[in-house]
Structure 1
Amino acid sequence: MTGQAGQEVTGQEVVRDGAEKIKGVFSTQSVAKVGTGTTQRRTIQKTYWSGDELDDGRIEVQPLNRNYVPSGPKRTVDREEFLSKFNPEPEFYMSTVFPAIKKLDETIVRGEKHRERGAAYSAEYEFKQATNVDEENVRANFGLGLTYLDRGDQVKANDIFERIVGLEAAFEEEHKHLFNDFGINMRKNKMYEQALQYYLRAEELVTNDEHLYHNIARCFYEKGDIQGCKKYVAKSLRVNPNLKESKMFWAFLKSKGHVAEGEDPMAAA
Protein backbone atom coordinates (compact mmCIF):
# COMPACT_ATOMS: atom_id res chain seq x y z
CA MET A 1 0.00 0.00 0.00
CA THR A 2 3.03 2.25 0.25
CA GLY A 3 5.22 3.65 -2.47
CA GLN A 4 8.91 3.03 -3.05
CA ALA A 5 11.47 4.64 -5.32
CA GLY A 6 10.79 3.78 -8.96
CA GLN A 7 7.18 2.79 -8.30
CA GLU A 8 3.97 4.63 -9.04
CA VAL A 9 1.26 3.94 -6.49
CA THR A 10 -2.29 4.18 -7.76
CA GLY A 11 -4.01 2.77 -4.68
CA GLN A 12 -4.83 -0.44 -6.44
CA GLU A 13 -1.75 -1.61 -8.26
CA VAL A 14 1.95 -0.84 -8.43
CA VAL A 15 3.43 0.02 -11.81
CA ARG A 16 7.05 -1.09 -12.20
CA ASP A 17 8.93 -0.28 -15.38
CA GLY A 18 5.69 -0.07 -17.34
CA ALA A 19 4.41 -3.49 -16.24
CA GLU A 20 1.57 -3.51 -13.75
CA LYS A 21 1.82 -5.77 -10.75
CA ILE A 22 -1.31 -6.60 -8.83
CA LYS A 23 -1.38 -4.86 -5.45
CA GLY A 24 -4.22 -3.43 -3.39
CA VAL A 25 -7.47 -4.37 -1.69
CA PHE A 26 -9.84 -6.94 -3.17
CA SER A 27 -13.00 -8.76 -2.18
CA THR A 28 -14.45 -12.23 -2.57
CA GLN A 29 -18.05 -13.32 -2.14
CA SER A 30 -19.53 -16.51 -0.78
CA VAL A 31 -23.08 -17.69 -0.27
CA ALA A 32 -24.16 -18.81 3.21
CA LYS A 33 -27.41 -20.28 4.47
CA VAL A 34 -28.99 -18.61 7.50
CA GLY A 35 -31.81 -20.12 9.58
CA THR A 36 -33.58 -23.47 9.26
CA GLY A 37 -36.64 -24.95 7.59
CA THR A 38 -39.05 -22.45 6.07
CA THR A 39 -37.15 -19.52 7.55
CA GLN A 40 -33.91 -20.50 5.88
CA ARG A 41 -32.49 -17.92 3.50
CA ARG A 42 -29.34 -17.40 1.50
CA THR A 43 -27.06 -14.45 2.19
CA ILE A 44 -24.01 -13.23 0.35
CA GLN A 45 -20.94 -12.74 2.54
CA LYS A 46 -18.20 -10.40 1.40
CA THR A 47 -14.60 -10.82 2.55
CA TYR A 48 -11.90 -8.21 2.00
CA TRP A 49 -8.28 -9.05 1.26
CA SER A 50 -4.95 -7.36 0.76
CA GLY A 51 -3.33 -8.68 -2.41
CA ASP A 52 0.26 -8.41 -3.57
CA GLU A 53 1.71 -10.07 -6.68
CA LEU A 54 4.95 -11.99 -6.12
CA ASP A 55 7.85 -12.20 -8.54
CA ASP A 56 6.71 -15.65 -9.73
CA GLY A 57 3.31 -14.28 -10.78
CA ARG A 58 1.31 -15.76 -7.90
CA ILE A 59 -0.67 -13.42 -5.66
CA GLU A 60 -0.11 -13.33 -1.92
CA VAL A 61 -3.37 -12.55 -0.13
CA GLN A 62 -4.06 -11.69 3.50
CA PRO A 63 -7.50 -11.08 5.01
CA LEU A 64 -8.49 -7.74 6.47
CA ASN A 65 -9.63 -7.97 10.08
CA ARG A 66 -12.72 -6.34 11.58
CA ASN A 67 -10.75 -3.07 11.84
CA TYR A 68 -9.97 -3.23 8.10
CA VAL A 69 -6.22 -3.73 8.37
CA PRO A 70 -4.35 -6.74 6.88
CA SER A 71 -3.95 -9.36 9.61
CA GLY A 72 -3.71 -13.11 10.00
CA PRO A 73 -2.21 -15.86 7.85
CA LYS A 74 -1.11 -15.14 4.31
CA ARG A 75 -1.57 -17.56 1.43
CA THR A 76 -0.75 -17.57 -2.26
CA VAL A 77 -3.20 -17.86 -5.13
CA ASP A 78 -2.46 -18.63 -8.76
CA ARG A 79 -2.94 -15.62 -11.01
CA GLU A 80 -5.81 -17.13 -13.03
CA GLU A 81 -7.73 -18.11 -9.89
CA PHE A 82 -7.11 -14.70 -8.39
CA LEU A 83 -8.40 -12.83 -11.43
CA SER A 84 -11.55 -14.98 -11.53
CA LYS A 85 -12.43 -14.82 -7.82
CA PHE A 86 -11.04 -11.56 -6.42
CA ASN A 87 -12.63 -8.21 -7.28
CA PRO A 88 -10.70 -4.91 -6.97
CA GLU A 89 -11.94 -2.45 -4.35
CA PRO A 90 -9.99 0.79 -4.99
CA GLU A 91 -12.64 3.09 -3.49
CA PHE A 92 -12.89 0.99 -0.34
CA TYR A 93 -9.09 1.04 -0.03
CA MET A 94 -8.93 4.84 -0.25
CA SER A 95 -11.94 5.54 1.97
CA THR A 96 -11.48 2.91 4.69
CA VAL A 97 -8.37 0.70 4.53
CA PHE A 98 -5.70 3.32 3.87
CA PRO A 99 -6.86 5.59 6.74
CA ALA A 100 -7.00 2.56 9.11
CA ILE A 101 -3.45 1.46 8.20
CA LYS A 102 -2.17 5.05 8.49
CA LYS A 103 -3.73 5.48 11.94
CA LEU A 104 -2.29 2.14 13.12
CA ASP A 105 1.21 3.08 11.89
CA GLU A 106 1.01 6.45 13.63
CA THR A 107 0.03 4.76 16.89
CA ILE A 108 3.00 2.38 16.69
CA VAL A 109 5.41 5.23 15.88
CA ARG A 110 4.17 7.14 18.95
CA GLY A 111 4.77 4.05 21.07
CA GLU A 112 8.29 3.61 19.69
CA LYS A 113 9.12 7.26 20.38
CA HIS A 114 7.81 7.00 23.96
CA ARG A 115 9.90 3.89 24.53
CA GLU A 116 13.04 5.54 23.10
CA ARG A 117 12.77 8.35 25.64
CA GLY A 118 12.01 6.01 28.53
CA ALA A 119 8.30 6.80 28.91
CA ALA A 120 7.36 3.16 29.45
CA TYR A 121 3.74 3.63 30.52
CA SER A 122 2.95 5.94 27.59
CA ALA A 123 4.63 3.44 25.26
CA GLU A 124 2.59 0.59 26.74
CA TYR A 125 -0.64 2.55 26.17
CA GLU A 126 0.13 3.19 22.48
CA PHE A 127 1.29 -0.36 21.77
CA LYS A 128 -1.83 -1.76 23.47
CA GLN A 129 -3.98 0.52 21.33
CA ALA A 130 -2.21 -0.86 18.27
CA THR A 131 -2.68 -4.51 19.28
CA ASN A 132 -6.37 -3.80 19.92
CA VAL A 133 -6.59 -2.90 16.23
CA ASP A 134 -4.34 -5.74 15.03
CA GLU A 135 -3.41 -8.30 17.68
CA GLU A 136 -0.87 -9.92 15.34
CA ASN A 137 0.95 -6.73 14.37
CA VAL A 138 4.64 -7.57 14.62
CA ARG A 139 6.00 -4.11 15.44
CA ALA A 140 3.33 -3.48 18.08
CA ASN A 141 3.91 -6.84 19.78
CA PHE A 142 7.68 -6.42 19.80
CA GLY A 143 7.28 -2.86 21.11
CA LEU A 144 5.00 -4.00 23.90
CA GLY A 145 7.29 -6.89 24.82
CA LEU A 146 10.38 -4.68 24.83
CA THR A 147 8.55 -2.13 26.98
CA TYR A 148 7.76 -4.80 29.58
CA LEU A 149 11.37 -6.02 29.47
CA ASP A 150 12.57 -2.43 29.97
CA ARG A 151 10.43 -2.33 33.12
CA GLY A 152 11.59 -5.76 34.28
CA ASP A 153 8.01 -7.04 34.19
CA GLN A 154 8.78 -10.64 33.27
CA VAL A 155 5.22 -11.92 33.72
CA LYS A 156 3.77 -9.57 31.11
CA ALA A 157 6.86 -9.93 28.91
CA ASN A 158 6.36 -13.71 28.93
CA ASP A 159 2.76 -13.28 27.77
CA ILE A 160 3.97 -11.27 24.79
CA PHE A 161 6.77 -13.77 24.16
CA GLU A 162 4.16 -16.54 23.86
CA ARG A 163 2.34 -14.48 21.24
CA ILE A 164 5.44 -13.50 19.26
CA VAL A 165 6.94 -16.98 19.14
CA GLY A 166 3.84 -18.13 17.22
CA LEU A 167 4.09 -15.38 14.60
CA GLU A 168 6.17 -16.46 11.61
CA ALA A 169 6.18 -12.87 10.35
CA ALA A 170 8.11 -11.84 13.48
CA PHE A 171 11.20 -13.58 12.10
CA GLU A 172 11.14 -12.09 8.61
CA GLU A 173 14.08 -10.01 7.38
CA GLU A 174 12.23 -6.70 7.72
CA HIS A 175 11.84 -7.30 11.47
CA LYS A 176 15.38 -8.59 12.04
CA HIS A 177 16.48 -5.75 14.34
CA LEU A 178 13.34 -6.16 16.45
CA PHE A 179 13.69 -9.90 16.97
CA ASN A 180 17.38 -9.46 17.81
CA ASP A 181 16.59 -6.75 20.39
CA PHE A 182 13.85 -8.86 21.91
CA GLY A 183 16.00 -11.95 22.31
CA ILE A 184 18.92 -10.00 23.77
CA ASN A 185 16.65 -8.22 26.24
CA MET A 186 15.07 -11.50 27.36
CA ARG A 187 18.53 -12.88 28.03
CA LYS A 188 19.51 -9.72 29.96
CA ASN A 189 16.39 -10.22 32.08
CA LYS A 190 17.61 -13.77 32.81
CA MET A 191 14.70 -15.29 30.88
CA TYR A 192 17.08 -17.91 29.51
CA GLU A 193 14.55 -20.66 28.82
CA GLN A 194 12.27 -18.26 26.94
CA ALA A 195 15.16 -16.68 25.05
CA LEU A 196 16.43 -20.07 23.97
CA GLN A 197 12.96 -21.24 22.89
CA TYR A 198 12.55 -17.99 20.98
CA TYR A 199 15.91 -18.27 19.22
CA LEU A 200 15.38 -21.93 18.33
CA ARG A 201 12.03 -20.96 16.84
CA ALA A 202 13.87 -18.33 14.78
CA GLU A 203 16.33 -21.00 13.64
CA GLU A 204 13.44 -22.90 12.05
CA LEU A 205 12.61 -19.87 9.90
CA VAL A 206 15.99 -18.21 9.31
CA THR A 207 18.77 -19.73 7.21
CA ASN A 208 22.48 -19.55 8.09
CA ASP A 209 22.49 -16.50 10.35
CA GLU A 210 25.78 -16.32 12.23
CA HIS A 211 24.47 -13.70 14.67
CA LEU A 212 21.48 -15.88 15.55
CA TYR A 213 23.77 -18.87 16.16
CA HIS A 214 26.00 -16.70 18.35
CA ASN A 215 23.01 -15.60 20.42
CA ILE A 216 21.86 -19.20 20.82
CA ALA A 217 25.36 -20.07 22.04
CA ARG A 218 25.14 -17.27 24.62
CA CYS A 219 21.85 -18.68 25.92
CA PHE A 220 23.28 -22.19 26.22
CA TYR A 221 26.28 -20.82 28.11
CA GLU A 222 24.05 -18.89 30.54
CA LYS A 223 22.11 -22.11 31.16
CA GLY A 224 25.36 -24.00 31.83
CA ASP A 225 25.08 -26.18 28.71
CA ILE A 226 28.66 -26.00 27.43
CA GLN A 227 28.20 -28.61 24.68
CA GLY A 228 25.21 -26.74 23.28
CA CYS A 229 27.19 -23.51 23.53
CA LYS A 230 30.18 -24.94 21.63
CA LYS A 231 27.92 -26.41 18.95
CA TYR A 232 26.37 -23.03 18.13
CA VAL A 233 29.59 -21.00 18.35
CA ALA A 234 31.00 -23.47 15.83
CA LYS A 235 27.91 -23.09 13.60
CA SER A 236 28.33 -19.32 13.75
CA LEU A 237 31.99 -19.56 12.73
CA ARG A 238 31.25 -21.99 9.90
CA VAL A 239 28.85 -19.43 8.42
CA ASN A 240 31.23 -16.52 9.04
CA PRO A 241 34.77 -17.47 10.14
CA ASN A 242 35.57 -13.77 10.63
CA LEU A 243 32.75 -12.91 13.06
CA LYS A 244 34.68 -11.17 15.82
CA GLU A 245 32.23 -11.96 18.63
CA SER A 246 32.18 -15.70 17.90
CA LYS A 247 35.96 -15.87 17.49
CA MET A 248 36.33 -14.21 20.91
CA PHE A 249 33.70 -16.54 22.39
CA TRP A 250 35.55 -19.63 21.12
CA ALA A 251 38.80 -18.27 22.58
CA PHE A 252 37.02 -17.64 25.89
CA LEU A 253 35.70 -21.22 25.99
CA LYS A 254 39.20 -22.45 25.25
CA SER A 255 40.67 -20.34 28.08
CA LYS A 256 38.16 -21.93 30.48
CA GLY A 257 39.22 -25.44 29.46
CA HIS A 258 36.00 -26.20 27.58
CA VAL A 259 37.77 -26.69 24.24
CA ALA A 260 40.26 -29.50 23.74
CA GLU A 261 43.71 -28.73 22.37
CA GLY A 262 43.53 -28.68 18.59
CA GLU A 263 39.71 -28.78 18.51
CA ASP A 264 38.64 -26.93 15.37
CA PRO A 265 35.19 -25.24 15.27
CA MET A 266 35.25 -25.40 11.47
CA ALA A 267 35.34 -29.19 11.66
CA ALA A 268 32.74 -29.58 14.42
CA ALA A 269 29.76 -31.83 13.69
Structure 2
Amino acid sequence: MGELNQVLGVYSKNTTDHTGTGATLQKAEHKTYYYITRSGIDEYHVQPLNDQNIPSGIITSLTKKQFIISFTPERDYYERKTLPALKSLKAKIDRGEEDFTNGEMDKAEQAFAKALLLDPENSKANLGMGSVQCTKKNFDKLSTIVKKLLNNDEVFIEEQRQEFNMFAISLRKQALFEDAITFYSKALEINAKDEHLHFNIARAYFDSGNYDKALNHIDEALQIQPDLEWAIKFKKYITKQAAK
Protein backbone atom coordinates (compact mmCIF):
# COMPACT_ATOMS: atom_id res chain seq x y z
CA MET A 1 0.00 0.00 0.00
CA GLY A 2 3.03 2.28 0.18
CA GLU A 3 3.06 5.34 2.43
CA LEU A 4 -0.16 5.80 4.37
CA ASN A 5 -1.86 8.90 5.69
CA GLN A 6 -5.10 8.90 7.67
CA VAL A 7 -6.49 5.38 8.04
CA LEU A 8 -10.27 5.26 7.66
CA GLY A 9 -10.62 1.49 7.97
CA VAL A 10 -12.75 -0.97 6.00
CA TYR A 11 -15.61 0.13 3.76
CA SER A 12 -17.87 -1.83 1.45
CA LYS A 13 -19.28 -1.23 -2.00
CA ASN A 14 -22.37 -2.89 -3.42
CA THR A 15 -22.40 -3.86 -7.08
CA THR A 16 -25.20 -5.37 -9.14
CA ASP A 17 -24.59 -7.99 -11.82
CA HIS A 18 -27.14 -8.66 -14.55
CA THR A 19 -27.52 -11.99 -16.31
CA GLY A 20 -29.91 -12.99 -19.06
CA THR A 21 -32.25 -10.76 -21.07
CA GLY A 22 -35.92 -9.91 -21.17
CA ALA A 23 -38.04 -12.25 -19.06
CA THR A 24 -34.94 -14.18 -17.98
CA LEU A 25 -33.13 -11.09 -16.72
CA GLN A 26 -31.81 -11.64 -13.21
CA LYS A 27 -29.99 -9.33 -10.85
CA ALA A 28 -27.51 -10.33 -8.16
CA GLU A 29 -26.00 -7.96 -5.63
CA HIS A 30 -22.48 -8.41 -4.32
CA LYS A 31 -20.70 -6.65 -1.49
CA THR A 32 -16.96 -6.09 -1.84
CA TYR A 33 -14.74 -4.90 1.01
CA TYR A 34 -11.98 -2.31 0.70
CA TYR A 35 -9.34 -0.73 2.90
CA ILE A 36 -9.50 3.06 2.81
CA THR A 37 -6.93 5.74 3.59
CA ARG A 38 -7.08 9.46 2.95
CA SER A 39 -4.34 11.71 1.63
CA GLY A 40 -5.04 15.39 2.05
CA ILE A 41 -8.59 16.72 2.06
CA ASP A 42 -9.99 15.37 -1.18
CA GLU A 43 -8.07 12.22 -2.13
CA TYR A 44 -9.14 8.78 -0.96
CA HIS A 45 -7.12 5.63 -1.63
CA VAL A 46 -9.21 2.48 -2.10
CA GLN A 47 -7.63 -0.99 -2.01
CA PRO A 48 -9.55 -4.30 -2.07
CA LEU A 49 -9.16 -6.86 0.70
CA ASN A 50 -7.92 -10.28 -0.33
CA ASP A 51 -9.15 -13.66 0.94
CA GLN A 52 -7.09 -13.13 4.10
CA ASN A 53 -8.94 -9.81 4.72
CA ILE A 54 -5.75 -7.81 4.22
CA PRO A 55 -5.33 -4.89 1.76
CA SER A 56 -3.94 -6.31 -1.47
CA GLY A 57 -3.86 -5.43 -5.14
CA ILE A 58 -4.42 -2.26 -7.14
CA ILE A 59 -5.01 1.01 -5.28
CA THR A 60 -7.54 3.41 -6.79
CA SER A 61 -7.63 7.12 -5.98
CA LEU A 62 -11.04 8.78 -5.66
CA THR A 63 -12.27 12.26 -4.86
CA LYS A 64 -14.30 12.79 -1.72
CA LYS A 65 -17.52 13.07 -3.76
CA GLN A 66 -16.84 9.82 -5.61
CA PHE A 67 -15.98 8.05 -2.38
CA ILE A 68 -18.82 9.05 -0.08
CA ILE A 69 -21.50 8.21 -2.65
CA SER A 70 -20.26 4.68 -3.36
CA PHE A 71 -18.76 3.35 -0.11
CA THR A 72 -20.27 2.42 3.25
CA PRO A 73 -18.27 2.12 6.50
CA GLU A 74 -17.82 -1.38 7.94
CA ARG A 75 -16.20 -0.85 11.33
CA ASP A 76 -17.34 -4.22 12.67
CA TYR A 77 -15.80 -5.98 9.69
CA TYR A 78 -12.47 -4.26 10.36
CA GLU A 79 -12.49 -5.40 13.97
CA ARG A 80 -13.69 -8.96 13.28
CA LYS A 81 -11.77 -9.77 10.11
CA THR A 82 -9.05 -7.35 9.08
CA LEU A 83 -7.63 -6.48 12.48
CA PRO A 84 -6.89 -10.13 13.46
CA ALA A 85 -5.37 -10.75 10.01
CA LEU A 86 -3.11 -7.72 10.37
CA LYS A 87 -2.02 -8.85 13.84
CA SER A 88 -1.10 -12.24 12.40
CA LEU A 89 0.86 -10.48 9.65
CA LYS A 90 2.71 -8.40 12.23
CA ALA A 91 3.63 -11.56 14.14
CA LYS A 92 5.24 -12.95 10.96
CA ILE A 93 7.21 -9.74 10.53
CA ASP A 94 8.37 -9.82 14.16
CA ARG A 95 9.57 -13.41 13.75
CA GLY A 96 11.42 -12.48 10.57
CA GLU A 97 13.08 -9.49 12.22
CA GLU A 98 14.20 -11.67 15.11
CA ASP A 99 15.68 -14.26 12.72
CA PHE A 100 17.36 -11.47 10.77
CA THR A 101 18.90 -10.02 13.94
CA ASN A 102 20.14 -13.49 14.95
CA GLY A 103 21.79 -13.95 11.55
CA GLU A 104 19.44 -16.76 10.47
CA MET A 105 19.00 -15.44 6.96
CA ASP A 106 17.16 -18.44 5.50
CA LYS A 107 14.49 -18.30 8.21
CA ALA A 108 14.28 -14.54 7.89
CA GLU A 109 13.84 -14.82 4.12
CA GLN A 110 11.01 -17.33 4.56
CA ALA A 111 9.27 -15.21 7.19
CA PHE A 112 9.58 -12.10 5.07
CA ALA A 113 8.21 -13.87 1.99
CA LYS A 114 5.21 -15.17 3.95
CA ALA A 115 4.51 -11.71 5.34
CA LEU A 116 4.96 -9.88 2.07
CA LEU A 117 3.17 -12.22 -0.32
CA LEU A 118 -0.34 -11.83 1.03
CA ASP A 119 -1.82 -13.70 -1.91
CA PRO A 120 0.35 -16.72 -2.84
CA GLU A 121 -1.44 -17.03 -6.19
CA ASN A 122 -0.52 -13.49 -7.22
CA SER A 123 3.00 -12.29 -6.54
CA LYS A 124 2.00 -8.71 -7.32
CA ALA A 125 -0.76 -8.64 -4.70
CA ASN A 126 1.24 -7.33 -1.79
CA LEU A 127 1.50 -4.17 0.23
CA GLY A 128 3.29 -2.28 -2.49
CA MET A 129 6.76 -3.44 -1.46
CA GLY A 130 7.91 -4.52 -4.92
CA SER A 131 10.18 -7.57 -5.17
CA VAL A 132 10.71 -9.85 -2.19
CA GLN A 133 14.17 -9.12 -0.79
CA CYS A 134 15.24 -10.00 2.72
CA THR A 135 16.83 -6.75 3.85
CA LYS A 136 16.52 -4.86 7.11
CA LYS A 137 15.28 -1.85 5.14
CA ASN A 138 12.40 -3.85 3.67
CA PHE A 139 11.55 -5.37 7.06
CA ASP A 140 11.39 -1.87 8.54
CA LYS A 141 9.28 -0.56 5.67
CA LEU A 142 6.80 -3.43 5.86
CA SER A 143 6.66 -3.14 9.65
CA THR A 144 5.89 0.60 9.39
CA ILE A 145 3.07 -0.04 6.91
CA VAL A 146 1.48 -2.74 9.07
CA LYS A 147 1.71 -0.63 12.23
CA LYS A 148 -0.19 2.12 10.43
CA LEU A 149 -2.75 -0.37 9.19
CA LEU A 150 -3.17 -1.53 12.77
CA ASN A 151 -3.82 1.99 13.99
CA ASN A 152 -7.01 1.58 15.98
CA ASP A 153 -6.46 3.61 19.14
CA GLU A 154 -8.94 6.03 20.70
CA VAL A 155 -7.67 8.95 18.63
CA PHE A 156 -8.23 6.96 15.43
CA ILE A 157 -11.71 5.91 16.52
CA GLU A 158 -12.68 9.51 17.30
CA GLU A 159 -11.33 10.65 13.92
CA GLN A 160 -13.37 7.93 12.25
CA ARG A 161 -16.53 9.01 14.09
CA GLN A 162 -15.99 12.58 12.94
CA GLU A 163 -15.40 11.33 9.41
CA PHE A 164 -18.70 9.42 9.41
CA ASN A 165 -20.54 12.47 10.72
CA MET A 166 -18.92 14.68 8.07
CA PHE A 167 -19.91 12.28 5.28
CA ALA A 168 -23.45 12.08 6.61
CA ILE A 169 -23.84 15.86 6.73
CA SER A 170 -22.63 16.12 3.14
CA LEU A 171 -24.99 13.36 1.99
CA ARG A 172 -28.00 14.89 3.77
CA LYS A 173 -27.34 18.21 2.05
CA GLN A 174 -27.45 16.33 -1.27
CA ALA A 175 -30.84 14.85 -0.26
CA LEU A 176 -29.26 11.37 -0.07
CA PHE A 177 -31.05 10.69 3.19
CA GLU A 178 -30.72 6.90 3.39
CA ASP A 179 -26.98 7.10 2.76
CA ALA A 180 -26.68 9.85 5.37
CA ILE A 181 -28.54 7.70 7.89
CA THR A 182 -26.10 4.84 7.23
CA PHE A 183 -23.12 7.03 8.10
CA TYR A 184 -24.80 8.60 11.14
CA SER A 185 -25.66 5.10 12.38
CA LYS A 186 -22.04 4.00 12.06
CA ALA A 187 -20.92 7.08 13.96
CA LEU A 188 -23.40 6.22 16.71
CA GLU A 189 -21.97 2.70 16.89
CA ILE A 190 -18.73 4.35 18.00
CA ASN A 191 -20.35 6.78 20.42
CA ALA A 192 -24.04 6.35 21.19
CA LYS A 193 -23.88 9.05 23.87
CA ASP A 194 -23.35 11.95 21.47
CA GLU A 195 -26.48 14.09 21.58
CA HIS A 196 -25.42 16.01 18.47
CA LEU A 197 -25.24 12.81 16.43
CA HIS A 198 -28.73 11.84 17.59
CA PHE A 199 -29.97 15.29 16.59
CA ASN A 200 -28.30 15.02 13.17
CA ILE A 201 -29.71 11.58 12.40
CA ALA A 202 -33.14 12.79 13.56
CA ARG A 203 -32.94 15.50 10.89
CA ALA A 204 -32.08 12.92 8.24
CA TYR A 205 -34.97 10.68 9.29
CA PHE A 206 -37.32 13.66 9.31
CA ASP A 207 -36.21 14.69 5.81
CA SER A 208 -36.78 11.12 4.61
CA GLY A 209 -40.33 11.22 5.99
CA ASN A 210 -39.74 8.84 8.92
CA TYR A 211 -41.12 10.94 11.77
CA ASP A 212 -41.17 8.09 14.30
CA LYS A 213 -37.44 7.42 13.95
CA ALA A 214 -36.77 11.15 14.05
CA LEU A 215 -38.65 11.48 17.35
CA ASN A 216 -36.85 8.44 18.80
CA HIS A 217 -33.46 10.03 18.19
CA ILE A 218 -34.57 13.44 19.43
CA ASP A 219 -35.68 11.73 22.64
CA GLU A 220 -32.26 10.04 22.84
CA ALA A 221 -30.58 13.42 22.46
CA LEU A 222 -32.76 14.93 25.18
CA GLN A 223 -32.07 12.03 27.54
CA ILE A 224 -28.37 12.79 27.21
CA GLN A 225 -28.80 16.56 27.42
CA PRO A 226 -32.32 17.55 28.59
CA ASP A 227 -31.75 21.28 28.04
CA LEU A 228 -30.64 20.97 24.41
CA GLU A 229 -32.66 23.89 23.11
CA TRP A 230 -32.69 23.14 19.37
CA ALA A 231 -33.65 19.52 20.07
CA ILE A 232 -36.60 20.68 22.19
CA LYS A 233 -37.75 23.00 19.38
CA PHE A 234 -37.24 20.34 16.73
CA LYS A 235 -39.26 17.80 18.71
CA LYS A 236 -42.20 20.22 18.83
CA TYR A 237 -41.89 20.80 15.09
CA ILE A 238 -41.75 17.08 14.27
CA THR A 239 -44.77 16.38 16.46
CA LYS A 240 -46.70 19.18 14.73
CA GLN A 241 -45.81 17.90 11.25
CA ALA A 242 -46.64 14.31 12.16
CA ALA A 243 -50.11 15.36 13.35
CA LYS A 244 -51.04 16.87 10.00
TM-score band, normalised by shorter chain: 0.3 to 0.5
TM-score w.r.t. the length of structure 2 is 0.45
Greater relative contact order (Cα < 8 A, sep 6+): 2
Rg (Cα) greater in structure: 1
TM-score w.r.t. the length of structure 1 is 0.42
